């Protein structure tokens, strides 16, 4: 079956289709041929997962095909596969693939929807099954991905996103930076449907929204790697992008996370994520030097964000030998919490604040990599668990500063 690609009015096409069991978004496809290939791959993959299901495969980002752009706006394309034949459907926001996907799924009354970031040749039952089966068969509302990775991949997730979100919302979800997710109707037609536009574009808020709504989530091992970031993107830019979205979500959900204590594991489908074989040498000397340079040049900024006691500990760290360069977990947790509070209070321009965190992050990364060295994946997991425990133990510090910032004004 070859899906049709078309660009009619999105609301009219949703009304024409009427209903679907599953809606699968494939925003990573950039051409009509790729969209067609992805739609065919989704159809083959979903058949053994949900036999006879009516499937809509949507491309929510917008691509021009066949006809010229209208008033300079890109044509928005999608594909639908349904018995007895294909139907087109279109979503209508090229800047917001999540909202487009949720709007289409809710309008069609779907049981579940998924976002798949893999290219067409990597879409299959092995990658879609671990995401869709928990939602369709186990009553899970949010399935998040676990990827095959090296121990030192995704360090922003390891050092900030995971321990922070776990401490705040009490759910032990290892990987929250990804491109593959599945959602239940309870989630996409409920809390996610009413989300404000500012919260879209990053995936961390899926966890906070589901947790605050008391919904169930799991992490699924996909057996694939996360696509590499675009070339030429520096760590400061990536960190600012991730933390900007993350800190906004921390502020938005403050009433919820202040009531949460401790953390609980979530169901894991397969392993919690595999490490690739082989060792990777990571030179931390550049990270350490960037931290020392940042400490010298950012005193004015850091002094408005971090308490004097923290600055004193960082000063001592600048004089540490390479072999003894260790940033304590409790100190790192308080630094992350202080930057989240500084972002909320707008102590300086938010963009400047986020980028000013880069040298501190590099100090943590150098400490983490230097401590683990060539130790195995089990040791890495144990070390991450220790880090997360420190974030949980230091959470009262954040709660106190959040409620009474003037009492803790550095």
- Show the tokens assigned to 328: 């304590």
* CA nearest to 114, candidates 215, 123, 84: 123
pLDDT of residue 311: 96
Which residue spans within 116-160 are E strands per DSSP? 142-148
> Residue 58's domain is classified under what CATH number?
3.90.550
Residues 198 and 320 placed together within one structural domain of the fold: no
Residues 191 and 134 placed together within one structural domain of the fold: yes
Question: Considering 269, 293, 314, which residue would you say is the last residue of a domain?
Answer: 269
Do the domain assignments include residue 230?
yes
Of 51-65, 190-204, 207-221, the poorest mean pLDDT is in 190-204
Q: What is the mean pLDDT of residues 62-70?
A: 35
User: In the predicted model, what is the mean pLDDT of the chain?
Assistant: 82
- State how far the Cα of 331 lies from the Cα of 162, in Å rounded to an integer: 17
pLDDT of residue 218: 95
Per-residue buried b or exposed e for 380-404, using 16+ beta carbons within 10 Å of the residue's own CB: beebbeebbbbbbebbebbeebbee
First to last CA, the chain: 65
Residue tagged 């002094």 (tokens): 303
Q: How many domains does the chain have?
A: 2
Please determine, for residue 409, whether its predicted confidence score (pLDDT) is greater than 70.
no
Residues 305 and 221 placed together within one structural domain of the fold: no
Do the domain assignments include residue 292?
yes
**Contact (CB, 8 A) for 114 and 25:** yes
**Contact (CB, 8 A) for 22 and 112:** yes
Q: What is the mean pLDDT of residues 251-257?
A: 94
Residues 248 and 321 placed together within one structural domain of the fold: no
Question: Considering 269, 299, 319, which residue would you say is the last residue of a domain?
Answer: 269
Residues 243 and 300 placed together within one structural domain of the fold: no
**Backbone torsion region of residue 18, taken as left when φ is above 0, otherwise alpha when ψ lies between -120 and 50, otherwise beta:** left
Q: In the sheet that 22-25 helps form, which strands lie side by side, from edge to edge? A: 78-81, 55-58, 22-25, 112-115, 181-184, 142-148, 217-225, 267-269
Q: What is the mean pLDDT of residues 23-27?
A: 85
Distance set, CA 110 to CA 19, 102, 180 (Å) = 7, 10, 18
Of 76-90, 144-158, 235-249, 281-295, the poorest mean pLDDT is in 76-90
Tell me which of 392 and 149 has the higher pLDDT: 392
pLDDT level of residue 156 (50, 70, 90 thresholds) = very high
Do the domain assignments include residue 279?
no
Question: pLDDT tens across 339-371, in order?
Answer: 999 999 999 999 999 999 999 999 999 999 999
pLDDT of residue 266: 94
pLDDT of residue 90: 43
* CA nearest to 350, candidates 246, 275, 271, 262: 246
Q: Which domain holds residue 114?
A: 10-269
pLDDT of residue 9: 61
- State how far the Cα of 195 lies from the Cα of 205, in Å rounded to an integer: 10
Residues 291 and 220 placed together within one structural domain of the fold: no
- Within 10 angstroms of residue 29's Cβ, the number of other Cβ atoms is 24
Please determine, for residue 62, whether its predicted confidence score (pLDDT) is greater than 80.
no
Residues 258 and 363 placed together within one structural domain of the fold: no
Please determine, for residue 50, whether its predicted confidence score (pLDDT) is greater than 70.
yes
pLDDT level of residue 202 (50, 70, 90 thresholds) = low
Residues 253 and 340 placed together within one structural domain of the fold: no
Do the domain assignments include residue 276?
no
Question: pLDDT tens across 305-323, in order?
Answer: 999 999 999 999 999 987 8
* CA nearest to 42, candidates 107, 127, 108, 110: 127
Q: What is the mean pLDDT of residues 157-179?
A: 91
pLDDT of residue 289: 95
Do the domain assignments include residue 240?
yes
With vertex at residue 27, the alpha carbon angle to CA 25 and CA 32, rounded to the nearest 5 degrees, is 100
pLDDT level of residue 122 (50, 70, 90 thresholds) = confident
Do the domain assignments include residue 277?
no
Residues 35 and 166 placed together within one structural domain of the fold: yes
**Contact (CB, 8 A) for 177 and 154:** yes
Question: Considering 214, 239, 269, which residue would you say is the last residue of a domain?
Answer: 269
**pTM for this model (two decimals):** 0.86
**Contact (CB, 8 A) for 118 and 224:** yes
Query: Which is it for strands 181-184 and 267-269: parallel, antiparallel or unpaired?
Result: unpaired
Residues 207 and 349 placed together within one structural domain of the fold: no
Alpha-helical segments (H) within 228-376: 235-252, 254-257, 285-297, 299-305, 308-318, 329-345, 350-356, 358-372
Residues 173 and 146 placed together within one structural domain of the fold: yes
Residues 158 and 199 placed together within one structural domain of the fold: yes
Do the domain assignments include residue 381?
yes
């Amino acid at each position: 079956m070859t899906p049709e690609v078309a660009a009619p009015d999105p609301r009219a096409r949703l009304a024409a289709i009427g209903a679907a069991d599953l809606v699968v978004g494939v925003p990573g496809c950039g051409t009509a041929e790729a969209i067609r290939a992805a739609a065919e791959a989704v159809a083959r993959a979903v058949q053994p997962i949900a036999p006879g299901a009516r499937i809509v495969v949507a491309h929510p980002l917008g691509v021009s095909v066949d006809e010229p752009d209208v008033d300079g706006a890109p044509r928005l394309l999608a594909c639908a596969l349904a018995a007895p034949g294909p139907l087109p459907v279109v979503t209508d926001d090229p800047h917001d693939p999540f909202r487009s996907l949720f709007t289409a799924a809710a309008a069609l009354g779907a049981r579940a929807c998924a976002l798949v970031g893999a290219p067409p040749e990597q879409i299959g039952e092995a990658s879609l099954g671990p995401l869709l089966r928990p939602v369709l068969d186990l009553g899970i509302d949010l399935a998040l991905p676990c990827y095959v990775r090296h121990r030192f991949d995704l360090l922003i997730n390891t050092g900030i996103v995971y321990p922070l979100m776990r401490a705040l919302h009490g759910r032990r979800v290892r990987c929250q930076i990804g491109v593959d997710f599945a959602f239940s109707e309870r989630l996409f037609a409920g809390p996610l449907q009413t989300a404000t536009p500012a919260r879209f574009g990053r995936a961390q808020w899926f966890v906070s929204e589901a947790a605050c709504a008391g919904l169930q989530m799991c992490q699924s091992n996909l057996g694939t790697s996360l696509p590499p970031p675009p070339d030429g993107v520096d760590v400061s830019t990536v960190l600012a992008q991730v933390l900007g979205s993350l800190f906004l979500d921390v502020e938005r959900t403050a009433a919820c996370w202040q009531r949460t204590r401790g953390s609980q594991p979530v169901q894991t489908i397969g392993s919690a994520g595999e490490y690739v074989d082989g060792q990777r040498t990571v030179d931390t000397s550049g990270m350490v030097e960037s931290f020392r340079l940042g400490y010298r040049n950012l005193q004015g900024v850091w002094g408005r964000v971090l308490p004097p006691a923290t600055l004193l500990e960082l000063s001592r760290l600048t004089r540490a030998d390479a072999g003894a360069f260790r940033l304590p977990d409790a100190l790192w947790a308080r630094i992350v919490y202080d930057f989240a509070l500084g972002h909320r209070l707008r102590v300086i321009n938010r963009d400047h604040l986020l980028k000013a965190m880069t040298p501190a992050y590099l100090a943590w990364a150098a400490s983490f990599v230097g401590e683990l060295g060539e130790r195995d994946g089990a040791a890495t997991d144990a070390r991450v668990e220790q880090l997360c425990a420190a974030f949980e133990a230091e959470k009262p510090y954040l709660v106190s500063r959040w409620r009474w910032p003037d009492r803790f004004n550095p």
